[in-house]
Amino acid sequence: MISFETVHKRCSILNPLKGFKEDVVTFEYRKDPLTGRNTTVVKGMLEYVSKFLSTDEKLLGSLAEKTRVGCPFCPESVMAKTPMFTEDFSKEGRIRVGNAVVVPNLLGHAERSAVVVMAKEHSLRLDEFEPSAILDGLKGGLAYVRRLSETDPSVSFPVFAFNYLPPAGSSIFHPHMQVLARDRPFYLARLFLEKSEEYREVNGSNYWHDLVEVEKPGERHLFEKDGVEWLVPFAPLRGLNEVQAVVVGRSNFLELGDGEWLGIAEGISSILRFYHEQGYVSFNAVLLSGPVGAHLDYFCVNLRMVSRPGIQPTCFTDAWALPYLLWDGEALEEPEVLAGKIRAFLGRRPGGKVR
């Protein structure tokens, strides 16, 4: 069964910020209950690095204006400056769902890589990502995955990835989402799939169902919307305001119904409003699917999203050696504290629903 393992450690130093008086620094080592990956919770770190997380609004506005010139995703350019699918894949050359436009990626990150232009606006504050725009983007990505499953069934492992603004690794300012698909799972998806199957073999149950059942009454649960459960992970992967979602009973994108896609879109929008309220302008998110050709009774579609550092003249990144090369996770504050902040912002209690 699911076990939440925590080890507490302490270190004494003579702190120059306190007149070189002896000070105690505390650490929590948490083990992810599915993968066993270690995450270090460093209490007080969020306050220490907070000056790097805010954004120079004047600089942000300047960058938005500069990148608007010649942007291939703006409405006046998207049909002239973006690639088209070959006719055997799409007779129209592009896929449109509502205001979203799906085009092949000019330089993709997988053998089947597409970009979903999600909004007409060139730049958005995080509280301006409306559920309807996110839903159009998700449905556009779904239409691409569905078409791909018909034309090339071997490419059965899709991922939806959001990289918004340069701190999140985006080379284009305009709001968009990437659809990455290939014939083998990305490492995180493969790890989740393998460990989920191992969990089922040992415990005789679905890890993701068990996770929701044990978390729902507790302090890390955020809300539920249309079969999508939102929570803060016990041992975050990345650490900066990380949030997790689980689509209970659905193992791949093609199994999701309209209500569940709406639940994902509304949940993303709610968390982005919280990020904005906390002063963030940039974020990453990944939505992971099992193989689209089969239902897996041990896996559920799931999402991870994080905020990223602010835009400032002096560059700062939270992508450093610990997570990138040592493969450890790090949290800048206790996940339970983060969950409390989000629930307070949304006016929710553990186990609650989004209105």
Better pLDDT: 98 or 355:
98
For residue 250, give both structure tokens: 């659905």
349 pLDDT tier (thresholds 50, 70, 90): low
Q: pLDDT at position 351, please? A: 55
Measured distance CA(307)–CA(193) in Å, rounded: 25
What tokens appear for 241 in the block?
């305001």
- Lateral strand order in the sheet of 5-15: 5-15, 21-31, 38-42, 329-331
* CATH code linked to domain 53-346: 3.30.428.10
Place 45 in a pLDDT band, splitting at 50, 70 and 90: confident
Question: In this predicted structure, what is the pLDDT of residue 353?
Answer: 53
pTM given for the model: 0.95
Residue 355's pLDDT is 45
pLDDT for residue 95 is more than 50: yes
- 110-145: per-residue pLDDT in tens? 999 999 999 999 999 999 999 999 999 999 999 999
Could you identify the residue written with the tokens 């507790």? 218
Check residue 352 and give its pLDDT.
53
pLDDT tens-digit readout, 199-248: 999 999 999 999 999 999 999 999 999 999 999 999 999 879 999 999 99
Q: What's the Cα-to-Cα distance from 68 to each of 77, 186, 188, 230, rounded to whole Å?
A: 11, 33, 34, 34
Q: What is the DSSP track for 39-96?
A: EEEETTHHHHHGGGTS--HHHHHHHHHHHHTT-TTSTTTHHHHS----TTT-TTSSEE
Contact assessment for residue 303 and residue 11, using Cβ atoms and an 8 Å cutoff? no
pLDDT band at residue 323 under the 50/70/90 scheme: confident
Half-sphere exposure of 91 (CA within 13 A, CB side): 0
Mean pLDDT of 15-42: 94
Average pLDDT of the chain, as a whole number: 94
Instruction: Work out the average pLDDT over 44-62.
Output: 91
User: What are the pLDDT digits (tens) for 81-93?
Assistant: 999 999 999 999 9
At 172-194, the pLDDT tens digits run: 999 999 999 999 999 999 999 99
Question: What residue segments make up the domains of the chain, in order of their start?
Answer: 5-46, 53-346
